[in-house]
Amino acid sequence: MASWTRDFVDIAGVRTELLRGGQGAPLLVLHGAGGNAGWLQYHDALAEHFDVLVPSHPGFGETERPDWMETIPDVAHFYMWFVRDLGLNGVNVMGHSMGGWLASQLVAMGSERFSKLVLGAPAGIKPEVGEITDIFLLSPEQVIERLFHDSSQSPEYQQIFGQEPSPEVLAILTQNRETAVRYTWKPYMYNPRLPFLLEQVRIPSLIVWGREDAIIPLNCGELYNRALAGSTLKVIENCGHVPEMEKPQEFVSTVLEFLRS
């Protein structure tokens, strides 16, 4: 395993939880609505080639949330300051689900600051076919069930989801859910302006989707592919909403081929 650390950094006055490991060009990884699941196998594999940074968003985990921060674009401004305050250059950005929406908003604010964009089944665009599952109407257990097409394919499923959370972890998960509601509600999980903003993005982009995604329709991947000039849409077969967990080897090989080209 690559060595990694958990630390706290000050970003524009916000105490921010950060996992970091590896070396090379920076790769900023933005988690989804469930929160930061910790240092996972795919982080470790990518850290063999990149300086991998996995922060917890404001209001998630042990990262503070300023009172004024209410929307995904607000959080994208925070990550502009994150890149600035840590002195990062040539940053590659990866985002999963809600974090993919966040990554998209971030590069749309100034794509010249970033090298490449990787989106794993991002929210952010309203589908033309199907609809984004309202995860806030489901129990946490129901959400976890829908994340995977076949959870037995995931080498980390039991480690991440197979144990009853402690009271401390449960409190963080509840806080994460409340923060996700705050950031993504009305309209739910999309920004009607985002497709138009993405048309001005001028960096190479990869979109990765599980064919059997039961959370966000594959049609959203097609719409991202249409909005991002020159982007590539890679569909992983027999896979659900979290290919980085369900099929980490295929996910990593796809991402490395893109980032190292």
The set of residues, in sequence order, having a beta carbon less than 8 Å from that of 92 and lying 6+ positions away, is: 25, 26, 27, 28, 50, 114, 115, 116, 117, 118, 259
- β-pairing, 51-55 vs 26-30, is parallel
Predicted local distance difference test score (pLDDT) of residue 1 = 66
Whether residue 227 has pLDDT greater than 90: yes
Instruction: Check: CB of residue 109 under 8 Å from CB of residue 43.
Output: no
Does residue 166 come out as left (phi exceeding 0), alpha (psi in the -120 to 50 range) or beta?
Answer: beta
Q: Give the CA distances from residue 110 to residues 86, 209, 211, 234, in Å, rounded to whole numbers and listed in that order.
A: 17, 25, 31, 25
Average pLDDT of the segment spanning 95-103: 98
Q: Which of 74, 113, 97, 100 minimizes the C-alpha distance to 201?
A: 113
250 pLDDT tier (thresholds 50, 70, 90): very high
CATH code, residues 4-259:
3.40.50.1820
Residues 49-91 have pLDDT tens digits of: 999 999 999 999 999 999 999 999 999 999 999 999 999 999 9
| Average pLDDT value for the chain | 97
Whether residue 140 has pLDDT greater than 80: yes
* The token pair that represents 197 in the structure block: 């903003």
Q: Which of 208, 209, 206 minimizes the C-alpha distance to 232?
A: 206
Average pLDDT of the segment spanning 136-148: 96
pTM of the model: 0.97
Domain boundaries, the chain: 4-259
Average pLDDT of the segment spanning 126-147: 97
Dist. CA 227–CA 54, nearest whole Å: 26
Q: What percent of the chain has pLDDT over 70?
A: 99
Residues 174-213 have pLDDT tens digits of: 999 999 999 999 999 999 999 999 999 999 999 999 999 9
Whether residue 122 has pLDDT greater than 90: yes
Average pLDDT of the segment spanning 231-245: 98
For residue 187, say if its preceding peptide bond is cis, omega within 30 degrees of 0. Answer: yes
Dist. CA 221–CA 195, nearest whole Å: 12
Q: Which of 214, 207, 208, 206 minimizes the C-alpha distance to 243?
A: 208
